[in-house]
Each structure stands twice: as structure tokens, then as C-alpha cells.
Amino acid sequence: MLDLQKTISAFKTGDIRALSRLISLVESRDSESLYLMASLYKEGAKGSCLGITGPPGAGKSTLVDHLIQYRRSQGKTVGVLAIDPSSPFTGGAVLGDRIRMQQHAADAGVYIRSLGSRGAHGGLSVATRDLVRLYQAFGFDEIIVETVGVGQTELDIMQLADTTIVVMVPEAGDTIQTMKAGLTEIADLFIVNKSDRPGATAMVTALQQMIELGEGRVRVQEHDRQHRMIQTSPTGGEEDTIWHIDVLQTIATKNKGIEEVWSKVDAHRAWRVTHPEDVIEVQNRRDAEFAALATEHFGRWLQEQADSTALTHITTQLHAGTLNPYTAVEKLYTHIGLKS
């Protein structure tokens, strides 16, 4: 049985085995994980989180492999979360990640963990944010979250990461047509990987056109927020409050374009420092996180209460058709004291 206090103490000394044990605890979503995360939350966020998403076959894992190498050459430690959105088991894309990144296995400055997505609608697991915080508390200089972009996953990674990269390939024209300008609400940077293939220039042009359309829409939607920031500008003049998304080309298998990617990521982080979230955005983010945690843990509690007398009585009537689902929920509310 895990001695939580002893493990946390070891974790704070940089014990990688303690980190592994606490990751397993967070993945289990045991009630102790709430206590763990509450205690570590006070430690504050120390590492930057880079999110990398995109369609299958875009070469994301190879790209991440070289991004790790570059940061390590700068003496920085790196923690990686490889997310498989299709299965909670190790395998498929996650196994591929492990194979492609195994050269870092002997490097004490790199830690790679695979995580199955247990979120709804193909989104990221609720545990993912907790694991990022765990990495931050451990003290990694750089945190990279890699996932296959499928629907809700892109939105989740955008909300989780400080900087989000969407990786495309020259052949991904159909993806562009499907997602269109919505991608510009997710990406802080686009990368056209495998850019030695035919169609790379056309893909870059298509993305640039999409960005231009997307930025125009954002400027209209955020007019009021921009106005507030212009009014408080130290110079008293107008200030462009929108990050201009760029498109870079890489050939990850040949280690080409990696330095340029990190340069742009660092530029985006510097921009974020001078353009912090406003009060409303911070409140909305905290509300969303609270709602996600409350939903998850209440759902777990409900499952644990499935055999209780009160719930058995409700479900028996529900199964017999003498109680409709809506009234059943009302009875549940009354049972737990949320409704008199």
C-alpha cells in the first residue's frame, strides 16, 4: 500500500520512482489523488506546457523526439505525456511513441509517460491536467503533451497547454477542409511536417489563408477586450493584442526546422507574459476546471453508491418503468440533500 506522505516527501527531493508512483495514483483517480493534487497545487506551476496535436501520421512523435533533443542540448529537463485518445491501454499510437522515443530511456533528464484517454467524446483524460501539474511540481523545465487530434481533443489541449502546435502534412488537405478556420482557435503555431513531400508549399499557403480569415473573425469578436487593453496601454497608444499565428516547415526525420520551432514557441511565451489573461478569462478557466473535477468525482461517488438501499430503490423503480429518468434524478437530489 502506498505511503502517501512518504512518497510525496521523496517526490519533492526529485525521486523519479516517487514520481512514477504518484502518477499511478493520479491515473487511478482514487480519493487520495484529490488530497495529493490539493497539496501540490500550492507548489505553483514552474514548467511551461507545450501541446502538440494533429492528425495520425503527421510525424508528431518524431518531431517530439527531436524537440526533446534540442531542449536537452540546452541543459533543460523534459517531461513528456503521450496521450492515446482511442484506448485506455498501452498500445497503438502510444506504443509507437515509446518505440520512437526509447533513445531517451537512459537519460535522467527526460521522463516519458503514456496515458490512455478516458475522457468523454475522445477528449483528454481529466487526469491529464493533474499529471501536467505533477510534472510542474517535480520541476521539469519543459513539459510536452502529445496527442492525436480528434475532435474534442484539440480543444482540450488548447485549454491545457501554454502554447499549442498543430502539426499537418502536405497530404492533409481534407483535414483543412473539414476543420477550416476553427483550427486557428486552437493553434498558436502550425507546422507542416514532412515538408520535403509534394504539396508542402500549397499546404503552407492554405494554412496562411485560413489564419488570415480566422484572425479577422477574432478581431471582431474581441473588439471590446482589445479596447480595454488599448485604454490601459502604458504608451497611451494602440496595441495589437492578437498573437499572429505562423506556419513553419519541418522535416523531423532529418532534424530540420527544430530550432525555428523552439524559437517561435519561446516568442509566443514571451508574448503571453505581456498579454496575460484578463480577470474574466481566469475565472472562466477556474470554473471549467472545478466543473470537470466535480463531475468526475461525483460520478465516481455515484458508482460507489450503486448498491446502497436508496439508490437500489430508485433504480428498481426506473427499471420497472414506474419512475422516469427525470424524477429519478430529482429523488437522487433529495437523497443527497441537494433538494428538500
Beta bridge partners of 262: none
For cell 491529464, what's the residue? 128
Mean pLDDT of the region 293-314: 83
Say what the pLDDT of residue 332 is. Answer: 87
Predicted local confidence at residue 193, as pLDDT: 97
The one-letter amino acid at 162: D
How crowded is residue 257: how many other Cβ atoms within 10 Å of its Cβ?
A: 18
Region of poorest pLDDT, from 37-41, 142-146, 193-197, 303-307: 303-307
Q: Does the pLDDT value for residue 322 go beyond 80?
A: yes
- pLDDT at residue 306, as a whole number: 75
18 CB neighbour count, 10 Å cutoff? 18
292-324: b (≥16 Cβ within 10 Å) or e: beeebeeeeeeeeeeeeeebeebeeeeeeeebe
Cα 292 to Cα 116, 125, 140: the distances in Å are 18, 10, 26
Backbone angles phi, psi at 81, to 5 degrees: -115, 115
Cα 54 to the center of its chain, rounded Å? 13
Residue 155: partners with Cβ closer than 8 Å, 6 or more residues away:
123, 186
- pLDDT tens per residue across span 282-296: 788 888 888 888 888
Q: What pLDDT sits at residue 46?
A: 66
Question: Is there a contact between 11 and 19 (Cβ–Cβ < 8 Å)?
Answer: yes
Amino acid at 269: R
Residue 251 per-residue DSSP state = B
Residue 122: the pLDDT is: 42
| The pLDDT of residue 215 | 63
Confidence of residue 92 (pLDDT cuts 50, 70, 90): very low
Q: Which tens digits make up the pLDDT trace of 145-201?
A: 998 765 566 667 777 899 999 999 998 666 565 555 566 778 899 999 999 999 999
6-14: average pLDDT: 95
pLDDT at 43 over 60: no
Q: Which three cell numbers stand for residue 84?
A: 492515446
Q: How many helices and strands, by DSSP H and E, does the chain display? A: 14, 7
CB atoms within 10 A of CB 151: 12
Walk me through the domains of the chain, giving residue ranges and CATH numbers.
1-42 (no CATH), 43-278 (3.40.50.300), 293-336 (no CATH)
Range of lowest pLDDT (32-46, 117-131, 290-304)? 117-131
Predicted confidence (pLDDT) at residue 101 exceeds the cutoff of 80: no
pLDDT tens digits, residue range 231-262? Answer: 444 444 445 678 899 999 999 999 999 999 99
